[in-house]
Amino acid sequence: MSKARVFLPGSTIGVMGGGQLGRMFAIAARRMGYRVHTFSPDEDTPTGQLADREVAARYDDAAAVRDFARRVDVLTFEFENIPVQTVEWAAQFCEVRPAASVLHVCQHRLREKEFLDQAGVPLPGFKAVASAGELAAAVAEIGLPAVLKTAAFGYDGKGQRKIAPGDNLVEAWAPFAGTGAVLEQFVHFEKEISVLVARGADGQTATYPVCENVHRNHILDVTIVPANISPAAEAKARALAAGIADKLGLVGLLAVEMFLLADGSILVNELAPRPHNSGHFSFDASVTSQFEQQLRAVCGLPLGRTASLSPAAMVNLLGDLWADGEPDWAAVLAMPEVKLHLYGKAEPRAGRKMGHLTAFGATAQLAAERALAARDALRGSLGK
Binding stretches for ligand AMP (CB under 6 A)? 124, 147, 154-155, 157, 184, 186-187, 192, 215, 218, 257, 269-270
Nearer to ligand AMP, 160 or 308 (CB): 160
Nearer to ligand AMP, 186 or 322 (CB): 186
For residue 115, give the 3-state DSSP assignment. helix
Nearer to ligand AMP, 125 or 344 (CB): 125
Nearer to ligand AMP, 277 or 282 (CB): 277
Min. distance of Cβ 66 from ligand AMP in angstroms? Answer: 33
Using a 10 angstrom Cβ sphere, with 0-12 exposed, 13-18 middle and 19 or more buried, the burial of residue 145 is middle
Measured at CB, which residue is nearest to ligand AMP?
187
Min. distance of Cβ 68 from ligand AMP in angstroms? Answer: 29
Min. distance of Cβ 267 from ligand AMP in angstroms? Answer: 8
**Bridge-based pairing state of the strands 219-225 and 35-40:** unpaired
In whole angstroms, give the CA distance from residue 223 to residue 373. Answer: 14
Backbone angles phi, psi at 83, to 5 degrees: -55, 140
In whole angstroms, give the CA distance from residue 63 to residue 244. Answer: 35
The closest alpha carbon to 309, from 342, 357, 358, 258, belongs to 358
CB atoms within 10 A of CB 225: 27
In whole angstroms, give the CA distance from residue 3 to residue 243. Answer: 22
DSSP H or E stretch at residue 127:
strand 126-129
Min. distance of Cβ 213 from ligand AMP in angstroms? Answer: 7
In whole angstroms, give the CA distance from residue 130 to residue 144. Answer: 18
Backbone angles phi, psi at 221, to 5 degrees: -115, -55
In whole angstroms, give the CA distance from residue 351 to residue 318. Answer: 5
Min. distance of Cβ 290 from ligand AMP in angstroms? Answer: 18
In whole angstroms, give the CA distance from residue 13 to residue 25. Answer: 10
Hey, what amino acid is at 253?
L
Asked if residue 7 lies in contact with residue 14, where contact means CB atoms within 8 angstroms, the answer is no
Min. distance of Cβ 73 from ligand AMP in angstroms? Answer: 33
**Bridge-based pairing state of the strands 252-260 and 191-199:** antiparallel
CA dihedral (32, 33, 34, 39) positive or negative = positive
In whole angstroms, give the CA distance from residue 382 to residue 76. Answer: 42
Using a 10 angstrom Cβ sphere, with 0-12 exposed, 13-18 middle and 19 or more buried, the burial of residue 316 is buried
Nearer to ligand AMP, 183 or 368 (CB): 183
CA dihedral (222, 228, 231, 233) positive or negative = negative
Min. distance of Cβ 162 from ligand AMP in angstroms? Answer: 8
